Amino acid sequence: MLLEISVAVIAFFVIVFVIGILIVFVQIRRTAKEAEKLLDTTRQQITPLAHDLTIILNEVKKIVQSVQSQMGKVEKGVDELKETAIRISEFEKMLQTKLEQPILEFTTLVAAISRALRAFIEIWKK
């Protein structure tokens, strides 16, 4: 009798184990089907995404090239501004050296004439 109960318990556990394995296999099969669907969906969406990414990368490349060419122009403009500032400074120094002495002489002449006129007016008033 003990042997029959042991065999029955073992048979029960074997049946439970087989049912458990069947449930696991069914779940694995469902998961595999879902994974296959996901892969198909992913394959279908990767192509447009890759195309869009290629377009975006090309646009970014064009923008970077445009910025690089603009930077070259800006650098050239800054260099020209520096040269212009140097030329203005040199022109200012040249004007100062050429005009300083004549203006000083003219100012001295005007001051002398002014003093002479004041002296003449003072003498005339007396």
pLDDT tens, position by position, 78-106: 999 999 999 999 988 888 888 888 888 88
Residue 84's pLDDT is 93
pLDDT tens, position by position, 18-38: 999 999 999 999 999 999 999
Distance CA 33, CA 99 (A): 96
Encoded amino acid at 75, one letter:
E
Q: Which two tokens stand for residue 39?
A: 């892969």
Q: Residue 11 is inside which H or E element, if any?
A: helix 2-125
Q: Give the pLDDT mean for 114-124.
A: 84
Residue 15's pLDDT is 95
Q: Which two tokens stand for residue 81?
A: 């501004």
